[in-house]
Amino acid sequence: MVRSTPDMTTIYEQISAALAGNQQFALGVISGIKGSSPQKKGAKALFFGDGRIIGTLGGGWKHGLTHWAFCLGDQPHLRNETFEALLKFSAENPESLVQPSICNRPRHPVVMPKSVFKRLGDAREAGLRVFLKSHQHLARSIECNDPGLDLDIDTPAEYEQALKLVCSDAQRIR
């Protein structure tokens, strides 16, 4: 089921509304394509705990997946360069759990190979953080200079800080 409200036109507005409403959701992003695809790189969808989906990742996307990226819903402000570096590093280390880091501190998003993702179904660990720690021997990190990696949006003040960061990045790109 795909639902959207007419007054919310961007995925970021949808994320903002979901955060304001304390709704649980996951953000899916197509980060790379091999062969043909009904969607382009960068396509996004929100998956809510109640079964709603806003956006689309296209048909048949499950069959060729080799990795899963666990992105925090309150991190839509990460730089594209961070995602690109993370995905390239993941491709160079296909059997590793890959995370960006700042000053050797691992951050989200986490890119997980299919072999590790399948273990999540039987995992006894309480949460992803504990699961990642128990699979530390598979972890690789890549240093990234992205201040958004340290930004967690839990309050209106943190949201304002994220907006300033995104606006300054947009001006830097121009």
Query: Are residue 18 and residue 104 in the same domain, yes or no?
Result: no
Strand partners, 46: 27, 54
Asked if 133 and 123 count as a contact pair (C-beta separation under 8 A), the reply is: no
Higher pLDDT pick, 3 / 53? 53
Domain count for the chain, please give it. 2
Inform me whether the pLDDT recorded for 93 exceeds 90.
Answer: yes
pLDDT of residue 62: 56
Query: Are residue 103 and residue 145 in the same domain, yes or no?
Result: yes
Query: Are residue 89 and residue 137 in the same domain, yes or no?
Result: yes
Q: What is the pLDDT of residues 133-145, one digit of tens each?
A: 899 999 999 999 8
What CATH number did the domain enclosing 126 receive? 3.90.550.10
What percent of the residues of the chain are helix, what percent strand, and what percent coil, each to the nearest 5?
Answer: 35, 20, 45
Query: Are residue 102 and residue 118 in the same domain, yes or no?
Result: yes
Inform me whether the pLDDT recorded for 2 exceeds 60.
Answer: no
Query: Are residue 58 and residue 78 in the same domain, yes or no?
Result: no
Q: What is the pLDDT of residues 37-63, one digit of tens each?
A: 667 777 888 877 777 778 777 655 455
CA distance to 20, 86, 134, per residue, from 103 (Å) = 31, 16, 22
Query: Are residue 50 and residue 94 in the same domain, yes or no?
Result: no
Residue ranges making up the domain that contains 125:
66-174
Query: Are residue 77 and residue 32 in the same domain, yes or no?
Result: no
Confidence of residue 156 (pLDDT cuts 50, 70, 90): confident
Confidence of residue 153 (pLDDT cuts 50, 70, 90): confident
Choose one of 9, 40, 63: the last residue of a domain.
Answer: 63
